[in-house]
Amino acid sequence: MHPRNPYNEALDFKLLASKYPPLQAHVNQNGGIDFLDPAAQRALTKAILKTDFDLDVELPDDRLCPPVPNRLNYVLWVEGIVEATSKFTNPSRGVSGLDVGTGASAIYPLLCCRQNPIWEMFATEIDPTSLSCAQRNVSTNALDGRIHLSRATANDSDSSSPSSHTFGPLFADPNLEIGFTMCNPPFYSSAAEIHTSKTEKEDEAFSVCTGSANEMIYSSPSSSSSAAASSSPSPSPYAECEREGGEVGFVARMVRESLVIRERCRWYTSMLGKMSSVPKIVGLLKVVGITNYIVTQFIQGQTRRWALGWSVGGWWRLPDTISRLSHLPSSHSLATIQPARTTLEYSLDKDPTVVLHDTLEGMKHGGILEVEKVTSPTGVVVEFLVKARENIWSRAARRKMKQKAMQAHPATPADKTGDPSDGTRKRKRDVDEGQGGSNTARKKGRVDSNHPKAPEQDEYKMICTVSLSALTGELGEAASKRWTLRMQWVYGKDEDREMFEGFASHIERKVSQGA
């Protein structure tokens, strides 16, 4: 369950029914609800949406009834993605997203817009009955100006019609840019697979599913096209996933299309209902050259779901709390496909606030390395935003800068004479250039002032945050205090990961030595 999900404790159905009378008929004497009763499920979903989100929705008998706590997990995760990225780009700019296959309820656009007043959502739906119901739900809640629905058509990504693509609105409008996509894809590849899945379950189902065929099934390509793809001397990297159909095949289509849309969407995401699907999609991402991806898991009661996201061409990095399942043991089947860490933490015994400030300020160099103190909303955390166009802190980088400085200021003939003042002049020059062994500038990490200034238009190779927070605990009667130094990689290409890790190590060493 997402840590911000308010449904982390069992619902009090009697209390909820007192606020939403239509639910009362479905609450038994023990205060429970029969989740195998479709009518009870619909009444519960309507009650939660009305009571907690002021949303009035219509839920057809023959379409999926979305469990709100489960769907909210996904929305909260996406909110974290948007917040983690937008605060370093344009925090005041509106956010727009796309829900692929919104269903009759339009649950994701409704929750997204109700939770976030400045968000705008696009949504697609292939089933005309579900699309009509979704439009009524949007209009009933006066969200027509912020939620834009469109009809999707045939499942043929090679078609020239924008509506035939999973990301139809992005193909229809080449100028459209969005922050994220969402999708709850069809789990199964055929009706037979649904039947097999039901019979293989050892325990009785905890709830009933009323989903229609198009909500539950995404068929694999025809046998002829599958055979042609598999016999090709250079088969498509998507062929195996697309032949599988179901959620793997559907998400594979989205991966294919994301390589066309690229940076016009910052983060592509999808829910997954089967853990076995996660490594298959991650494997596909790696094969097609997408290495900036994220993985998470949602647990709500007896239900487990997974979510996966990826970014194409953009190198914004997300915190470990959003991007990976760090708690998994190495023996877990998903441990080997987790993305690399972007959050590095160090524990310190002494207050390093002043040393950290002086170290970072001392490293500032116009146009090459910039440091900005960030205001913490709580005032508890000290945070700095660091932007670097190149590495100027490693030993190799410092040697290189020293050589450039010597070339820029070669020794004069007078320097080479036996004048007793030679040493004095050399020591003075060393201090002026930040190379002297005892000068303050070097102690604080300040770089050579003769280092060439980077042009303003040059992109940063690394952006990260450096934050410091205090943890207070009780040891008997004496209070103990420890500090956590946290380095968060915010932006950088794969080849610059070593640059971030080296910077983090450099700062930790300086702070530990000086604290």
> What's the pLDDT tens digit per position in 129-146?
999 999 999 999 999 999
Mean pLDDT score, 246-252: 93
- Break the chain into its structural domains and give their ranges: 13-221+236-323, 341-393+457-514
* Per-residue CA distances from 426 to 174, 410, 411, 507, 509 (Å): 61, 12, 9, 30, 30
Residue 498 is predicted with a pLDDT of 94
**Segment among 168-172, 380-384, 423-427 with least mean pLDDT:** 423-427
pLDDT tens-digit map of 142-165: 999 999 999 998 655 456 688 889
| More confident call, 377 vs 355 | 355
pTM listed for this prediction:
0.83
The domain 341-393+457-514 is placed in CATH, from the list 3.65.10.10, 3.30.310.80, 3.40.50.300, 3.30.70.100, at 3.30.310.80
Amino acid making up residue 114: R
214 labelled ligand-binding: no
Please say if the pLDDT value at position 110 is more than 80.
yes
Q: For all residues of the chain together, what is the average pLDDT? A: 83
Residue 212 is predicted with a pLDDT of 64
Mean pLDDT score, 25-40: 93
Q: Is there a common fold for 13-221+236-323 and 341-393+457-514? A: no
pLDDT tens-digit map of 293-346: 999 999 988 889 999 999 998 899 999 999 999 999 999 999 999 999 999 999
For 397, the enclosing helix (H) or strand (E) is: helix 395-408
Please say if the pLDDT value at position 455 is more than 50.
no
Confidence of residue 235 (pLDDT cuts 50, 70, 90): low
Q: Where are the alpha helices (DSSP H) in 328-379?
A: 353-363
Q: What SS3 state is found at 485?
A: strand
Mean pLDDT score, 455-466: 76
142-165 exposure pattern, b = at least 16 Cβ within 10 A, e = fewer:
ebeebbbbbebeebebeeeebbbb
Please say if the pLDDT value at position 222 is more than 90.
no
Please say if the pLDDT value at position 59 is more than 70.
yes
DSSP secondary structure, 119-134, as one string: EEEEEEES-HHHHHHH
DSSP secondary structure, 86-131, as one string: HTTS-TTS-EEEEEES-TTTTHHHHHHHHH-TTEEEEEEES-HHHH
Please say if the pLDDT value at position 280 is more than 90.
yes
Please say if the pLDDT value at position 92 is more than 80.
no
Please say if the pLDDT value at position 506 is more than 50.
yes
| More confident call, 374 vs 223 | 374
DSSP state of 160: S
Residue 426 is predicted with a pLDDT of 43
Question: How many secondary structure helices (H) and strands (E) does the chain include?
Answer: 18, 12
Of 265, 115, 240, 104, residue with least CA distance to 182: 265
137 labelled ligand-binding: no
Mean pLDDT score, 446-468: 62
Please say if the pLDDT value at position 227 is more than 90.
no
Class of domain 13-221+236-323: alpha beta
200/209 Cα distance (integer angstroms): 16
211 labelled ligand-binding: no
User: CA-CA-CA-CA torsion for 268, 270, 276, 282, nearest 10 degrees?
Assistant: 0
202 labelled ligand-binding: no
Confidence of residue 181 (pLDDT cuts 50, 70, 90): very high
